[in-house]
Structure 1
């Protein structure tokens, strides 16, 4: 009993220190600027201000934060669905379809995992500029339709855990390669798909550099880029509104994790078919 108490108390203390920055952010979203800097380490605000959320939601330049959330959801949802589906299809090709040069292309795909993202920034920017895609959502969405090596590798390991007898049985019933993929493989790799979707959602939602690089019109800004606009070195920064919108920006990612957390560990473990 004593060991159990010590263990749980220690875990709670460590969890508090790990979660403290988020608690501080939430508490700061209800403080005024004076209280924020004079009582920086105090979680409970001296005066609770709900006006920070109102001012933050009103945005700036006549553009409310509803526009920025709409832009972010539009980019993230399309990119996540496209990235997960295309990665699953490519992984199925590597794992179940025999074609010339399969090992070579698989090595090329794995090699891109070790390629720093900074190396391809300039070529991509020049390419998208030639296509006249700058200041549009296309550079942030279209690449997702061609898969992501990390997700391809993750889903492929899960597919390897599925017995080939399932494919043979489907062939006997008259299924082709796409029939096997949609009717057999996709339902069985759901944990891997959800795990990939969670990671894709997180990475796209918090992406700051991509929108900063390709978007110039304020009405097309995402949430991550709009938060930076609250900080004005030449004037007074509205810290309360910035923290309030930062709290709201955390909610979609937090809800996604809460809803799909039971699939996360199962998807990463790549356990394949059970029972």
Structure 2
């Protein structure tokens, strides 16, 4: 009876503690929302939410950049993200299938090279990549941001998918071969459907990391017409004399909504992909 009573007390206390910790972690978000509705003078006040709710910060901030609205920048961002997602999922899954299922010369050597690239900082390859893309005349285009993903340059995603594919029974491959299926057919009809949780995980990571890839987009995109949302936010600061911080915070708050929506919509698949990838041999 004493044990049962202690368990009854522990459960509510644990939930209460988690609730308090959760609210503390959400405090910056509440402050962000409140600050996006404040004027510059009220922004320094200790109040979490404003006395006068300036919803106009969202409408004015949306059209604050001369000649362009944030609609244009969002369309640019979504077009770029769509191309990156498609190329990343296709190239990384195909490369992972090759390492996990096919026997070819120097496979272990190339797999070791793949793992070594995980420890290579992106800044090391920045200059040679820029020289290469500049020689191809691709500066101020989206190709420098898309092409590396088309060539399966995301070693972490390839490694994650390899671990997942290794857990798929090889008997399925052998059955497909007996039915006359090619290696690409096995990849397309068997491996791809069974790796859906891992592919969703790759897609979420890829979207979030590239949506906020300010440095890469800053290096390769020069004209305002090609700017994405993250570059537009930086330009917002440059084009405003007396910077309206409420409008800037409102636009930055809107900029995180797409990644947040995608994460919560696919959260179940994301958790499943991480869990199952972790236990594959």
Specify the TM-score bucket, using the shorter chain as the normaliser.
Answer: over 0.9
Partners of 1:3 and 1:47 in 2: how far apart?
Answer: 43
CA contact (8 A) 1:223 1:249 kept: yes
Aligned to 1:72: 77
Aligned to 2:11: 4
CA contact (8 A) 1:160 1:272 kept: no
Aligned to 2:242: 236
Aligned to 1:46: 51
Segment of structure 1 superposing worse, 41-50 or 96-105: 41-50
Deviation at 1:165? 0.4
Partners of 2:168 and 2:85 in 1: how far apart?
Answer: 24
User: Per the alignment, in what secondary structure is the counterpart of residue 15 of structure 1?
Assistant: helix
Whether 2:167 is the aligned partner of 1:161: answer yes
Aligned to 2:132: 127
- Taking structure 1 as reference, are residues 203 and 272 closer, same or farther at Cα in structure 2, changes over 3 Å only? closer
Aligned to 2:100: 95
Aligned to 1:82: 87
Segment of structure 1 superposing worse, 63-72 or 18-27: 18-27
User: Per the alignment, in what secondary structure is the counterpart of residue 222 of structure 2?
Assistant: coil
Residue number among 197, 200, 203 corresponding to 1:197 in the alignment: 203
Partners of 1:233 and 1:16 in 2: how far apart?
Answer: 36
Aligned to 1:220: 226
Q: Deviations over 1:154-208 (max 9, x none)?
A: 0000001011101001111111101100111000000000000000000010110
RMSD: 1.7
Partners of 1:178 and 1:253 in 2: how far apart?
Answer: 32
Q: Deviations over 1:10-48 (max 9, x none)?
A: 1111111212112211111111111112x1x42221101
Partners of 2:180 and 2:136 in 1: how far apart?
Answer: 43
Deviation at 1:62? 1.5
Partners of 1:273 and 1:119 in 2: how far apart?
Answer: 33
Runs of at least 5 residues in structure 2 that lack an aligned partner in the other structure: 1-7
Aligned to 1:207: 213
Partners of 1:264 and 1:195 in 2: how far apart?
Answer: 5
CA contact (8 A) 2:200 2:266 kept: yes
User: Per the alignment, in what secondary structure is the counterpart of residue 118 of structure 2?
Assistant: helix
- Number of matched residues? 272
Runs of at least 5 residues in structure 1 that lack an aligned partner in the other structure: none
Residue number among 235, 241, 256 corresponding to 1:250 in the alignment: 256
